[in-house]
Structure 1
Amino acid sequence: MNEQWLRKLIRNVLHQYGYHPETWNLDEDEWHRLCAYVTAEKEKNRNADIYELVHDAVYEFITNM
């Protein structure tokens, strides 16, 4: 899966949850963990909607900070 495209999806969902790049910057490790989580979940369930997986990953990330 193209990580650049996946980051854009994640960034869009983060924005929906109130994320603003000026006030809350994710480091490379956090970006990598989010992308890896979505990619792994997609491999487990090929029929899963990528947008739902991204929303789940972002929600999990935000609630476990």
Structure 2
Amino acid sequence: MDKRWLQKQVRNCLRHYGYDDEMMPLSEDEWRDLCAHIAAAKEKQQNTNMYELVHDAVYRFITSA
């Protein structure tokens, strides 16, 4: 999975939820955790669209933050 592409998808999703990169930047650990969570979800649910997996992971991140 392309890391830059995945981070772009996560950024777009974060913006959708009103999360601004400049006001609240993600730490390296947060990026790594989000990307790892998405990659693990894709392994388990191979037929699920990446868009859905990214949105699920970002939603969980935002609601638990």
TM-score by length of 2: 0.97
**Structure 1 residue 21 displacement after superposition:** 1.4
Structure 2 counterpart of 1:58, which letter? Answer: V
CA distance in 2, matches of 1:12, 1:49: 16
Q: Report SS of the residue matched to 1:21.
A: coil
**4+ runs of 1 displaced by more than 3 Å?**
none
Structure 2 counterpart of 1:48, which letter? Answer: T
**Structure 1 residue 22 displacement after superposition:** 1.4
CA distance in 2, matches of 1:44, 1:21: 29
Q: Report SS of the residue matched to 2:23.
A: coil
Counterpart for residue 22 of structure 1: 22
CA distance in 2, matches of 1:22, 1:7: 15
**Structure 1 residue 32 displacement after superposition:** 0.5
Structure 1: gaps of 5 or more residues: none
CA distance in 2, matches of 1:45, 1:24: 30
Counterpart for residue 35 of structure 1: 35
**Structure 1 residue 15 displacement after superposition:** 0.3
Q: CA RMSD in A?
A: 0.5
Counterpart for residue 2 of structure 2: 2
State the identity %.
55
